[in-house]
Chain A
Amino acid sequence: MAATSARPGMPESESESAHPELGAPTTGPPKAAPAGRTTASQLAGWALVLGLLVICLLAPKLFIPSFPRTLSAVFMFATLAQAWNIIGGFTGYPSFGNVVFFGLGGYTIAVLMARSHWSFWPALVVAVVLGAAYAMLIGIPTLRLKGHYFAIATLGVAEGTREIVLNVPKVTGGGAGITVPAVGPSATTSYPGNTGFLYYFLALLVVAMLAVYAIARSRFGFALRAINQDEDAAAAAGINTTRMKIAAFMVSGAITAAAGSIYAFQQVSIYPDRLFSVDITVLMVIMAVIGGSGTVIGPLVGGVGLQFLSEYLRQNFTDYHTFIFGAIIIVAVVLLPEGAVRFASETVRQRRLPIMDNLRRYRL
């Protein structure tokens, strides 16, 4: 929540994903899209993916000097948004502490590589496993809470974990941070460089996209959506809600931890404030939601779009960029509460821009 500068696609799944509501709108939820592929949503999906590709291709013209790094950040945030989407979008449990897995992953890498001289890849495996394990650990008590309470509990856990990391300097270097040996004799793995990391992040993004795509079409995805839409009815229908929620959280945590690991390696020197920053959490939530939480390509759209936007603003309006970004978020939330992807598919379906619909649906 501090004013630190924010750093700032695949066809729809077969059946339209859930409206991730935690509070019932008074004018009724949007009509459930018919199960099975519809040309409208397919079209919208492809259109968006194409749009993204165009942006990626034009990007070099917009920011030549640091392009690979920018793109890395874009891929990383899209991954974080997708990972959040699993627990926040599909399952409907808005985690405001997912950054804890990011930091955990990053610190695991750093500690194992710096102190125990592991090389990157085995350390990555450990980081991912730890991410999942930690998700299970904090999920068991917190997933009993709903809505706001869950959000704050996870936020509290993230902040608390950061404090703990800050206070064990012997292991983590405390406030002074820790440095991964990336060059020289103590380097265990050769440093991939900007282009290398670009591929790492891209690979992770692909993994995340595939995971979400698979989940959306699977029994697991159905269970999560059922839990989201009516947890009591889901339990009565035979879904072990506790197990499913924790599983979703674990997948989310694992992917987020992987992202944090690669990030830590890339940054070389890391600090608790950065790796456990609340801003990262809020950014991933915004990207997922404005893109379209509970959809498959929504977080991709949101992540890519908002991160590029953030970069563009930072480079061209250096003094005002966070200010403008905040204003854009406000506008986006008001006009696109369902997210860009659903807005796009509604537009195609109704053949007009349903801007006022959203306002009417949610305002007092």
Chain B
Amino acid sequence: MTAALETRDLSVRFGGLKAVDGISVTVEDGRVLGVIGPNGAGKSTFINLITGQIRPTRGKVLVGGRDLTGAKPWKIAAARVARTFQINKPFRGLSVRDNVAIGAMFGAPGGGSVAKARGVADEVLERLGLSGVAELGPTELSVAHAQRLEVAKALALRPRVLFLDEAMAGLRPAEMEPQLELIRELRREGLAIVVVEHVMRAIRSVCDTVLVMQEGRELLTGPPDEVLADERVITAYLGQRYAERQRAERAEAGGSGPAVADQVGPRPEGETRAPG
């Protein structure tokens, strides 16, 4: 069966800088791939290469088996690949409803008239609990609502592949759970989802596989628990010294000490940071 999304040796250079170097991943329908890495690792660039904002200098992008390497963003959208942006990009002069309707008008298969698209938008807003703010302007929304609007805009395209670029950013732990539940729902519905995150709890709770990037290259790929406990990953995020200390502590405690997940990102309510 052809994977929903596949990249082969995907790379881009800017002058002498290899921002993304040889990333190959496969995401099947109904699976969630997490992408983590320290700042500057190239995570967002990686997404931009797939969704057409940047042209790759090497490698391939295949969506459902079709070669869409370097295709323009609207062609990618037509192939039912949708994304959110790390820094939210709402249409400031349009209402929340119309923001979502745009995707339904132009990106969803079959397109639609303005009225029909607004109908689809209302459905999506309903699902995301945004019906109450449908008439407001995007700048009047709370952070949580703004993040959800960003996701709603992407869902309006009825995508097969969904990219969520730091969709948890700025959310309080209590606000995160509905977002995570949404991802699980979408996963059950068969979407192939790629989640770029810094919030390890999110990675842990919804991802099937995690790709760790560092300086544009793949550092490690594997199940979340393995990856997050791996020393190389800890080093990449927190530095050499911390990794060594971790190793020492874990050896003392018999191999069950805290992993990266507990050190990075907002804490779930009630937990305190482990000593060290």
* Contact surface of A with B, Cβ cutoff 8 Å: 15-19, 21, 28-29, 31-32, 34-36, 217-219, 222-223, 225-226, 228-230, 232-242
Contacts and interface: CB of A to CB of B under 8 A. Distances in A.
B242 interface: no
A241 B98 contact: no
Contacts of A222: 98, 101-102, 105, 114
B98 A237 contact: no
A31 B95 CA distance: 10
Interface in B148-178: 153, 156-157
Determine the interface band of chain B, counting residues with CB < 8 A from chain A. 35 or more
Nearest to B93: A18
B55 to A, nearest CB: 14
B53 A232 contact: yes
Contact of A233 (B72, B76, B91, B95): B91
A146 to B, nearest CB: 15
A226 B94 contact: yes
Nearest to B98: A35
Given A230-B90, A237-B106, A34 B113 contact: no
A15 B85 contact: no
B114 A217 contact: yes
Contact of B91 (A36, A229, A235): A229
A234 B101 CA distance: 11
Contacts of A236: 51, 53, 73, 76-77, 82-83, 85, 107
B157 A229 contact: no
B158 to A, nearest CB: 11
Contacts of B8: none
B113 A229 contact: no
Interface of B: 51-53, 72-74, 76-78, 82-83, 85, 89-95, 97-98, 101-103, 105-108, 111, 113-114, 135-140, 153, 156-157
Contacts of A240: 72, 74
B107 to A, nearest CB: 3
Nearest to A233: B89
A15 B98 CA distance: 9
B85 A232 contact: yes
A348 to B, nearest CB: 18
Contacts of B89: 230, 232-233
A298 B104 CA distance: 29
B132 to A, nearest CB: 13
The 5 A-B pairs with the shortest beta carbon distances in the complex, nearest first, are: A238-B107, A32-B137, A238-B77, A235-B73, A18-B93
Contacts of B76: 236
A35 B83 CA distance: 25
Contacts of B91: 18, 225-226, 229-230, 233-234
Given A21-B92, A35-B135, A237-B157, 16 more contacts: A15-B94, A16-B93, A35-B98, A219-B114, A222-B102, A225-B93, A230-B91, A235-B72, A235-B74, A236-B73, A237-B77, A238-B74, A238-B77, A238-B106, A239-B102, A241-B74
